[in-house]
Amino acid sequence: MSEKQTRALSADVAIPYVGFGTYLIPNDEAAAAVREAIGIGYRHIDTAEFYQNEAGVGQGIRQALADTGLSRGDIFVTTKLWPGNAAWGQTPKTTETTVESLLRSLELLQLDYVDLYLIHAPFEREQRLAQWRGLIELQRQGKARAIGVSNFNIAHLEELAAAGLPRPQANQIELHPWSQKPQLTLYLDEHGIVPIAYSSLAPLSTWRTAEGHTSAKTDAMRAEAEQADAPFKRMAAKYGVSEAQLLLRWGVQQGYPVLPKSTRAERMRQNADLFSFAIDEQDMAELATMDRGDGLAWSLGDPTKAA
């Protein structure tokens, strides 16, 4: 029996385990990258208001549908509300401006709906409930088939529940062997909230090395990952795969949909090839011992720590 390649968010919405991430892909390059990804076989495209590439992503989706003969329903599309951050001089979104934000994103994407709409981060304590009510309204209107959050911790999620509001269907968070968040993922599992993993490749020495690509990763961490006897290198060689595939496969075996990003066709194909091998129990047990706590993706600190 073949391995299941989607995970249910609800009775009628399922998210592919392998998605194509578009963070740090400029708008003028996004169309070509997304078109290539869908042609290769990706069926989930992840973008966000904050990425400023929704127009290019939408163009790439339309081009790929024309190329392949696929229909809109064959492609799972995620975008995210930027909640605003008063500490950064940004106006926090209200319920009304949350609704307006998705309508604007849909215009840029040239889509009638998205499959999943997320609050990107829990930055605005005073407006979190208002923003979540906006997502609930957008789902009611059919503009988002499923709704969720990103970078929310247990306290943030409990805040929504305490207000008597429906729980999110997903929480997109940084997850990899160096940041496993066991208490949070257990909570998500207990409450039927699907964890979606971003920055799965953060432990690799080559992750976010381009100029202007910031993170909380140290030079010492990069040097450690470059060692010839580094565990990811050893395990990848054992299975005849890349280190990236190994880390992505770890996520899939944990039940986390993953979002690899590349603009190189060869790497896109490789990153999508996650069902031709499995990590054995011994190696999964070793990977479970590597947790270092906080994530690395945000240079200003892990947003799950927000008050």
Q: How far apart are CA 113 and CA 171, in angstroms?
A: 19
What would you report as the CA-atom Rg of the chain, rounded to the nearest whole angstrom?
Answer: 19
DSSP of 163-208, one letter per residue? TTPPPPSEEEEE-BTTB--HHHHHHHHHTTPEEEEE-TTTTSTTTT
Q: Is 32 in contact with 60 (CB distance < 8 Å)?
A: yes
Per-residue pLDDT of the chain (307 residues; tens, 9 = 90+): 467 999 999 999 999 999 999 999 999 999 999 999 999 999 999 999 999 999 999 999 999 999 999 999 999 999 999 999 888 899 999 999 999 999 999 999 999 999 999 999 999 888 999 999 999 999 999 999 999 999 999 999 999 999 999 999 999 999 999 999 999 999 999 999 999 999 999 998 776 556 556 666 566 666 666 776 789 999 999 999 999 999 999 999 999 999 999 999 999 999 999 999 999 999 999 999 999 987 776 656 678 877 7
Q: Is 31 exposed, middle or buried (0-12, 13-18, 19+ CB in 10 A)?
A: buried
pLDDT of the residue at 30:
98
- Cα–Cα distance, 186 to 195 (Å, whole number): 10
Catalytic residues: 51
pTM over 0.85: yes
| Spatial contact of 157 and 195, defined as CB atoms under 8 Å apart | no
* Contacts of residue 199, Cβ cutoff 8 Å, sequence gap at least 6: 174, 175, 176, 207, 295, 296, 297
CA dihedral 175, 59, 79, 8 (to 10 degrees): -70
Retrieve residue 217's tokens: 């990763």
- Predicted local distance difference test score (pLDDT) of residue 104: 99
Spell out the domain ranges in the chain: 6-298
Residue 66 CB-density burial (10 A; 0-12 exposed, 13-18 middle, 19+ buried): exposed
Q: Given this model, what pLDDT does residue 184 score?
A: 98
According to CATH, the superfamily of the domain at 6-298 is NADP-dependent oxidoreductase domain (3.20.20.100)
Q: What is the pLDDT of residue 247?
A: 98
* Alpha-carbon span 185 to 300, nearest angstrom: 23
Backbone angles phi, psi at 256, to 5 degrees: -100, 120
pLDDT of residue 1: 41
Output the average pLDDT for the chain.
93
